[in-house]
Amino acid sequence: MHMEIQTQNYKIIFDQDIDYHLLNFLDNNGIQRDNIFLLTDSNVEQHVLPQIKLLADVPRFVMEPGEKNKNLDTARQVWEFLARHRADRNSVLINLGGGVVTDLGGFVASTYKRGIRFINIPTTLLAQVDASVGGKTGIDLLSYKNMIGTFSDPALVLINTLFLQTLDRRQFLSGYAEMIKHALITGEGEWTKIKSFSVDGIDYEYLAFLVKKSVEIKYNIVRQDPTEKGLRKVLNFGHTIGHGIETLLLSRGQEILHGEAVAIGLVAEIYLSNIKFILNIEKVFEISSFITSRFPAVSLTYDDYNQIYELLLQDKKNRDGKIMFTLLRDIGDPVIDQTCSKGEIFEALNFYYQFK
């Protein structure tokens, strides 16, 4: 199955033959094989890299997996790797992995020698539907996600949903959370498709169509607002509280996946949508029940609420010292730049616990 999305600056290609499209890109751009470099992580090196013959002998930097490694020290090591191999401004960095690899690799490439080209080959569902489009690169600073970064488009994105067969259920659901978000901000039709998709006994061919649609939803928003001045903020639905929870737990060394935190954020912010816009209560409970039945429960205390709130005050989306939310007036009707009180935020976190 071959599908493409032509963005303003690059192609997103959905196909199983990654080697063919890599070779095609290199030949069309006059890039020699000895001028490409690979960034991946140790898990992907073991499970996915052997499926891409062209990359077998490419100089590679293998990082340790996990958000905790998406930092300036790892970026420095990759810069040094490129410098040692005499990468020049005509070099290409291929980022093979999940969102951590594509975020960090994109940041490294966009800053090395003031910018070299990079190709993203996302190997997780989260990276395919989220990190594959949008031009955001970044690394974490202290305990804050993506505090250092650039807006820089890849030269090419190659997506093979069969790579997802190597994912465990938790990792798959982490990406599924972003697909849920895309559906909820788009409309009832997309929501119906997503909630009817079975995450057990996955049909990977049908999944490719759903992933393409999810990518199209994000791209159609991003192309109208590439630097997040207005419309692009709708993509933050579920992410304000979600990022706060993710940051808190990761700072303690507790394991939580991005999509698991976003799932909690979606439930909490759906509740806030009911407070602000009287979002139909039946929809509130239907959506919340659907999400919480698929994602593991996370335990938080009242003291955690206060720490989450303090983290929200540091969110890079804030304006004039106020925490900014994207909420839903209805499914398919997101509203940006909404403020909520501390009490309302705590109520929303309490609401989540009805479903534990």
- Please indicate, yes or no, whether residues 63 and 96 belong to a single structural domain of this protein: yes
- Please indicate, yes or no, whether residues 177 and 282 belong to a single structural domain of this protein: yes
What does the alpha-carbon distance between residue 46 and residue 50 come to, in Å, rounded to a whole number?
Answer: 7
Q: Which of 145, 181, 182, 232 is an active site residue?
A: 232
Domain boundary among 167, 194, 226: 167
Each residue's pLDDT, cut to its tens digit, for the chain (356 residues) gives 799 999 889 999 999 999 999 999 999 999 999 999 999 999 999 999 999 999 999 999 999 998 889 999 999 999 999 999 999 999 999 999 999 999 999 999 999 999 999 999 999 999 999 887 888 999 999 877 788 999 999 999 999 999 999 899 999 999 999 999 999 999 999 999 999 999 988 999 899 999 999 999 999 999 999 888 899 999 999 999 999 999 999 888 888 999 999 999 999 999 999 999 999 999 999 999 999 999 998 988 888 999 999 999 988 788 888 999 999 999 999 999 999 999 999 999 999 988 76
Q: Which of 145, 243, 276, 283 is an active site residue?
A: 243
- Please indicate, yes or no, whether residues 235 and 270 belong to a single structural domain of this protein: yes
Q: Which of 136, 182, 233, 283 is an active site residue?
A: 136
Domain boundary among 167, 189, 218: 167
The question of whether 136 is a catalytic residue gets the answer yes
Q: How far is CA 289 from CA 133, 182, 320, in A?
A: 29, 18, 35
The question of whether 114 is a catalytic residue gets the answer yes
Which CATH number belongs to the domain containing residue 61 in this structure? 3.40.50.1970
Domain boundary among 167, 191, 222: 167
The neighbour count for residue 130, using CB atoms within 10 Å, is: 28
The question of whether 47 is a catalytic residue gets the answer no
The question of whether 228 is a catalytic residue gets the answer yes
What does the alpha-carbon distance between residue 85 and residue 150 come to, in Å, rounded to a whole number?
Answer: 24
Bridge-partner residues for 159, per DSSP? Answer: 14
- Please indicate, yes or no, whether residues 132 and 200 belong to a single structural domain of this protein: no
The neighbour count for residue 117, using CB atoms within 10 Å, is: 22
- Please indicate, yes or no, whether residues 187 and 160 belong to a single structural domain of this protein: no
Can you give the three-state secondary structure of the chain, one letter per residue? CCEEEECCCCEEEECCCHHHHHHHHHHHCCCCHHHEEEEEEHHHHHHCHHHCHHHCCCCEEEECCCHHHCCHHHHHHHHHHHHHCCCCCCCEEEEEECHHHHHHHHHHHHHHHHCCEEEEEECCHHHHHHHCCCCECCEEECCEEEEECCECCCCEEEECHHHHHHCCHHHHHHHHHHHHHHHHHHCHHHHHHHHHCCCCCCCHHHHHHHHHHHHHHHHHHHCCCCCCCCHHHHHHCCHHHHHHHHHHHHHCCCCCCHHHHHHHHHHHHHHHHHHHHCCCHHHHHHHHHHHHCCCCCCCCCHHHHHHHHHHHCCCCCCECCECCEEEEEECCEEEEEECCCHHHHHHHHHHHHHHC
Domain count, the chain: 2
pLDDT recorded at residue 216: 95
The question of whether 243 is a catalytic residue gets the answer yes
The question of whether 236 is a catalytic residue gets the answer yes
Which CATH number belongs to the domain containing residue 181 in this structure? 1.20.1090.10
Domain limits at 232?
170-355
pLDDT recorded at residue 205: 87
CA nearest neighbour of 24 among 37, 40, 34, 11: 11
pLDDT recorded at residue 201: 87
- Please indicate, yes or no, whether residues 154 and 297 belong to a single structural domain of this protein: no
- Please indicate, yes or no, whether residues 154 and 23 belong to a single structural domain of this protein: yes
Q: Which of 212, 218, 276, 283 is an active site residue?
A: 218
The question of whether 181 is a catalytic residue gets the answer no
Q: Which of 145, 182, 239, 283 is an active site residue?
A: 239
Q: Which of 258, 269, 274, 283 is an active site residue?
A: 258
